Amino acid sequence: MEHIKTYNKIEHPVNTHSIVIEGPITASNLRQYVFHQDLKAFRPASRQFQALLEIADLPEGRIIIARQDETIIGYVTYLYPDPLERWSTFQMKDLLELGAIEVIPEYRGSKVASNLLQVSMMDPFMENYIIISTEYYWHWDLKGTNLSIWEYRKVMEKMMASGGLLPAPTDDPEIISHPANCLMVRIGSNVDNESIKQFETLRFLNRHQLRSFREGI
């Protein structure tokens, strides 16, 4: 599958200035900017920036950034699911995972994250993908936001909906281990029925594997 990437850019006003939200960004372009030290939700900022550079170089990888002048203050990543995750079981070429989305504390609540998702979906080629995001409450910044699990879940759902991702049922053990966890899904308008059916099997993989086992007995 050829992964076509079309660059888009908007300016998002925040207080007295504008934030530039743009992408997909290449690794060479990323290196022109400074990665804010507070982008450390997943790992130290320097290591996270290196991870973004590696994703940007992947054929399917997409990095959308938010920046104030030359400083990156937020980003969202898209890439194939980790080979160790269930979502890579069928190695679907048209299934991408929203791997991470992060905005520095100073700009949270300013709709920067929502605009990152909206700019992501401005690329018409995104209609060729099934996009998923696996949301686990233990990854959420409950302490930093001073929100309860369910308040955070509500905010997260609203943000994801701005990019067209909606909650979808699954029997994935990690997701169903807590009622606040969820699978978010967006199915592009150009995804064929065969991929949609395969994804349905993937969402309920345990059920299908159990059925296959029983039928084989």
Evaluate whether 138 touches 181 at the Cβ level (below 8 Å): no
Closest CA to 162 of 97, 116, 103, 94: 116
Cα distance between residue 141 and residue 198, in whole Å: 33
Evaluate whether 80 touches 96 at the Cβ level (below 8 Å): yes
**The pLDDT of residue 206:** 87
Q: CATH 3.30.70.930: does it fit domain 8-216?
A: no
The domain spans of the chain are 8-216
Closest CA to 163 of 216, 135, 123: 123
| Max Cα distance, the chain (Å) | 68
**The pLDDT of residue 210:** 57
**The pLDDT of residue 55:** 98
**Tokens in use for 38?**
């507070």
Instruction: From first to last of the 217 residues of the chain, give the pLDDT tens digit.
Output: 999 999 999 999 998 899 999 999 999 999 999 999 999 999 999 999 999 999 999 999 999 999 999 999 999 999 999 999 999 999 999 999 999 999 999 999 899 999 999 999 999 999 999 999 999 999 998 988 899 999 999 999 999 999 999 999 999 999 999 999 999 999 999 999 999 999 999 999 988 665 664 566 5
Neighbours of 23 (CB within 10 A): 27
